[in-house]
Amino acid sequence: MTDVQRFLARFADFGGSPDPVKYEDLFDPVDGTVLHPGMTAPLHRDQVRAYMTTYLAGVPEFRFEIVEWAE
């Protein structure tokens, strides 16, 4: 399994059963950041768990499925 395939498997697992810890684990521990539309500044990996906890509290039924991936 390639690194991309491993990432996609973890990302798909998060999409099917969202959890703040799974989300945090998607990011590089040193350089990982997230910047979604509407954010004014990127969040470092150490902030994404709290971000996703807040997000999922507001959208508890959030789920997604990867249909296709392009690099």
Read off the pLDDT of residues 1-51 as tens digits, 9 standing for 90 and up.
999 999 999 999 999 999 999 999 999 999 999 999 999 999 999 999 999
Please check whether residue 18 is in contact with residue 63, taking contact to mean a CB–CB distance below 8 angstroms.
yes
Does the reported pTM lie above 0.95? no
- The total of structural domains in the chain comes to 1
Q: Is residue 26 part of a domain?
A: yes
The mean pLDDT of 47-61, rounded to a whole number, is: 96
CA atoms of 1 and 33, how far apart (whole Å): 25
Q: What is the DSSP letter of 31?
A: T
Q: Is residue 9 part of a domain?
A: yes
What was the pLDDT predicted at 70? 86
The mean pLDDT of 47-71, rounded to a whole number, is: 95
CA atoms of 48 and 8, how far apart (whole Å): 18
pLDDT at 71 over 90: no
**How many angstroms separate the Cα of 31 from the Cα of each of 20, 46, 51, 59, 69?**
18, 10, 17, 27, 23
Print the domain residue range for 44: 3-58
Q: Is residue 67 part of a domain?
A: no
